[in-house]
Amino acid sequence: MAALKDIADRTTTKTLSVNNVEVVYNSVILVLRGISLEILPGQVVSLLGPNGAGKSTTLKAISGLLKAELGEVTRGQIQWGSARVEGLSAEDVVRLGLVQVIEGRLLFRHLTVEENLRVGGMVYHGGRYIRDDLERVYHYFPALAKLSRRVSGYLSGGEGQMLVIGRAMMAHPQLLMLDEPSLGLAPMLVHEIFDIIRDINQQEGMSVLIVEQNARAALELADYAYVMEDGRIVLDGPAEQMRENEDIKEFYLGLNQAGGRKNYREVKHYKRRKRWLG
């Protein structure tokens, strides 16, 4: 179909490398403490961790959104193929093919669904291929096609999440970064949206970096996963192995070694850190 033509030309061929990156806010608050991670072409990578671990800051360091929050990369490098991106503006990062969908489903709520998508399409060749790009988005999100004339402020949470992902796709990302896409959604909607993300990855070869507290869904989707705590990477590995890791089962999937639910009141936080960092 026309909307999916030339998919081979869109296949990601670049690797993202985050090398020993530190991030400071307000020239005082150290949030990232020398993290390193890698996303290979076409790979889905999940970044897990508790609130305040630095997951969203990691995405913003890559996407160039730190400056809007008085943050800066003070050490290390972020490499996209042969290009250094840690000092670029968010607009320039998007033009290189790295697009972040930030947490909170931020929409132009007075605009319709299709008008929101068209705004996203202006990044890619000035919107010259808007019709094909809309068809492409509607292929993955048929619900949006039915809602194309609805004012986006009246969408449900799941519809809004589909729209912000679809709007990001209009910019033809080679690396799509998603920040908590399951937040506040019912389990069936989470399953549907994660299935769509998998389809996009498999059909277009688009790399995906997903920050997610729903560890079960994230590890089912991902090829590789990292766990963050206190601004550091404390554990990483292939997602299949991570799903079988006893610490992941216990602290993120809620299962103890006997297969039962863990009573978190019995867990001491420092014990977990001692196991992972020891």
Tens digit of each residue's pLDDT (9 = 90 or more) over 189-218: 999 999 999 999 999 999 999 998 889 999
Of the candidates 92, 276, 51, the residue with the CA atom closest to the CA atom of residue 179: 51
Alpha-carbon torsion angle 261, 266, 270, 276, nearest 10: -20
What is the sign of the dihedral through the CA atoms of 7, 137, 189 and 107? positive
With H, G, I as helix, E, B as strand and everything else as coil, classify residue 29.
strand
**What is the pTM (predicted TM-score) of this model?**
0.85
In order of start, what are the domains of the chain with their CATH numbers?
12-106+172-244 (3.40.50.300), 249-278 (no CATH)
- Residue 95's identity, in one-letter code, is R
Tens digit of each residue's pLDDT (9 = 90 or more) over 17-37: 999 999 999 989 999 999 999
Tens digit of each residue's pLDDT (9 = 90 or more) over 31-84: 999 999 999 999 999 999 988 899 999 999 999 999 888 999 999 999 999 999
